[in-house]
A = this chain, B = another copy of it.
Amino acid sequence: MTLPLRKTTEKLLMGPGPSNADQRVLRAMSEPMIGHLDPDFLGIMNETRELLKYVFQTENELTMAMPGTGSAGMEAAWANTVLPEMKVIICVHGVFGQRMTDVASRYGANVVVVGSPMGRPIDPADLQKAIKDNPDAKVVGIVHAETSTGVLQPLEEISKMVHEAGMFLLVDCVTSLGGVEVPVERLKFDMTYSGTQKCLNCPPGLAPLTVSPRMGEWISKREIPVKNWYLDLNMIMRYWGEDRFYHHTAPINMTYALNEALRIILEEGNEKRWERHWSNARIFWKVLEAMGLKPVVEEKYRLPSLTTYYTPEGVNEASVRKYLMDKYSIEIGGGLGELKGKIHRVGLMGVNSNPAKMALLTVALCDAFNAHGYKCDTGAALEVLSAR
């Protein structure tokens, strides 16, 4: 019996994620499997932890890859942090902040929400007020790079006020890690997680996570067990740590993939990589301006790895995306939640933050909009790309 071929034709993934995996990463995934407690695999785990520390810019010993996608990172962060009836403050400036409130509530947290309008970051003054009104809160959760809006949340001031209040700072870096600076140590993030399928250019399936010593100590002293066996850091720490305590079976080939993805970042260097993401994004923003498209986010809060713009009135945004896919095999994203049908989300992540990909996308986008009755001057848009 034979089934038809799997349709896995290569496409250019320039939506909110997954981004394309680097070819080296895909090759690493197909290396022979070895045992998950084999000394050679333990060596790969150790090296992967060191590489994660480099990318997270931290010396946190509690740095590892959780055995699930980025969402498992969010789940692990809250599951390990929350005790029943614990008060937590969650900053909601998009869908993923909203999701945090759902996740934390399931573990019994009393959630205080600090919000901001879609497309705007959290105003530190609003958080300051919430902290003042809720001095008994233990944790502040916030999304660094909101994948639903394209906002890069400034965290300097926020980190300061959270720590002055003696609270823990929990940060979602799913769409920032590997694309923009994630200053875990410098800004004292206590619990930080990410995913593999955004700026790391690795297939989804693991959630890099790092925990400050202060937070790690607190978790290790919990009197109530973590209400999630699979993601219990007290056990997973021992699996990634010296005693190699058997917990789950690590996703072995996914770990090879992450290892290779992180090696690629080490080769390029954090700073050069961030700079590349910034400079390409700034050019792309000018391209969109030349096309007359209105950005969702004010430039100073804009995320270089994910750009959002309003689609023109009267244009069916889903149809534009379908056109891009059908004709050019390019995937970009639509809006989520209240932005559904109103915006596009374009990822310039890792290997896709690149002049060739941007040129192709520009040509394709102009063609698609023109075909949908919104006139774009392709030549003018391309001129931006070749300007210096």
Contact = CB atoms under 8 A, between A and B. Distances in A.
A106 B226 contact: yes
Interface stretch (A4-12, A163-171, A289-297, A354-362): A4-12
Interface in A221-270: 225-231, 246-254, 256-257, 259-260, 263, 266-267
Given A11-B38, A40-B7, A267-B1, A249 B204 contact: yes
Contacts of A256: 6, 8
Interface residues of A, number: 76
A89 interface: no
Number of copies: 2
Given A227-B227, A254-B254, 9 more contacts: A1-B267, A6-B256, A7-B40, A10-B32, A69-B248, A69-B251, A72-B248, A205-B254, A228-B228
Interface of A: 1-3, 6-11, 13, 15, 17-18, 20-21, 26-36, 38, 40, 43-44, 47, 67-72, 74-75, 79, 99, 102-103, 106-107, 195, 197, 203-205, 225-231, 246-254, 256-257, 259-260, 263, 266-267, 325, 331, 336
12 contacts: A6-B259, A8-B32, A8-B256, A9-B40, A13-B33, A21-B253, A26-B33, A29-B30, A69-B248, A71-B249, A102-B229, A107-B227
